[in-house]
Amino acid sequence: SLKDFEIGKGQGKGQFGQVHMVRTKAAPNYILAIKCIKKKKLQALDGGKQFRREVEIQSHLLHPNILRLYGYFFEEEQVYLMLEYAGGGELFRKLRDARDGRFDEPTAAKYIAQVTEGLIYLHSKRIIHRDIKPENLLLSLNGDIKIADFGWSVHAPSDRRTTHCGTPIYLAPEIARGKHEVYSRAVDLWALGVLIYELVTGDPPYDSNAQPQSVANRPFSPCCFGARSPRSPPPSRFAPSQLLKHAPSERLPLLKVKQHVWIQRHVRTSRSDQSGKTSRGSSASAKTVEQ
C-alpha cells in the first residue's frame, strides 16, 4: 500500500494522474516512481481499457531501454503503478533546454540508437508502441533512454491494426488517413523518422498545426534537413528521408537504422571518447597510488 513508501517530489503529470518519486520505508530503501491515477478520472475519460492494456503490456517487458513496471496496487479512490525511477526526466525537456533547442549530432545519434534498440525489442514481442515522441522518452540518471507510456501500445500478433490513435505530428500516413486503414509496426518507423528530424533540427518536419490528413498526402522533402546542421551527411543517405516514406514497406527496417552510417559513426566516436576518459582516469588513479 501507499503507507509502505516515503513520498518525494512530483515528477510530472499525465492524462490520468501524477507521478512522484518514492522510497520504500523498508530496507534496502529502493527508489521508484509511483504513478497515481484517480479511478473517477479513468472512468470519466473512458480510459479503463487503455490502462489495462498499458499494465498488461509493460509488466511483461524487460529491456535496458524500456521503463520497467514493477507492479501495481489499488486503494479506495486511486490506482498506483510502481515504475522504474527515471531521474533524468523527459527527453522533451532536455531538448527544450538544449542550446538552440536541438541536440548536437553525437547526442542525437546516441538517443536514436537507444530508442531503436528498444523498438527492436518491442517489435520482437509483436508490440507496436504507436506513440513514440520526446514526451514519452525518459532518461535515467546516467542519461540512457527509457521508452515509457504504453497507453496506446498494442500487442499485435498478426501485425495488422486499424485503430486511429497517437499524437498528430507523429502519426504515420496510414493512421492519419483513418477510414479503418490497416497498418503495422511500420508506424513506429515513421515516428522514429520524425523524432530524428526533431532532435537534430529542433523542429518537427511538418507544421504542428497541420491537419494529420494533409501530412498523410504530403511527401517528405529532405532538402532543408541539415540546413541548421551543416556537418550532416547528404539527406539522401540520412535516416529521416529513409524512414519518412509514405509506403510502409519502403521504410528503413530497424536493424538497418541501427547499422546506419550516421549512428555508427557518432556512437562509435562517443564510445571511444568514454573509453579514453576511463583510461586516463585509471592512469591518474594509478599515479596517485604510486605517489
Question: Which residues are tagged catalytic?
Answer: 131
> Is 136 annotated in some ligand binding site?
yes
**C-alpha cell of residue 19:** 507521478
How many C-beta atoms surround the C-beta of residue 234 within 10 A? 10
Task: DSSP for 174-208, please give it.
Answer: HHHT-TT--B-THHHHHHHHHHHHHHHHSS-SS-T
> Is 33 annotated in some ligand binding site?
no
Q: Is 20 helix (H, G, I), strand (E, B) or coil?
A: strand
> Is 86 annotated in some ligand binding site?
yes
> Is 77 annotated in some ligand binding site?
no
> Is 65 annotated in some ligand binding site?
no
CB of 50 closer than 8 Å to CB of 151: yes
> Is 135 annotated in some ligand binding site?
yes
Strands (E), the chain: 5-13, 17-24, 31-38, 69-74, 78-83, 89-90, 127-128, 137-139, 145-147, 154-155
Q: Which helix (H) or strand (E) holds 239?
A: helix 239-243
> Is 149 annotated in some ligand binding site?
yes
CB of 203 closer than 8 Å to CB of 194: no
For residue 66, the 8-state DSSP code is B
Kindly give, in sequence order, each residue whose CB lies less than 8 Å from that of residue 59, ignoring residues fewer than 6 positions away.
69, 71, 72
How many C-beta atoms surround the C-beta of residue 64 within 10 A? 13
Binding site members: 35, 84-86, 135-136, 149
Binding residues for ATP, as ranges, are 35, 84-86, 135-136, 149
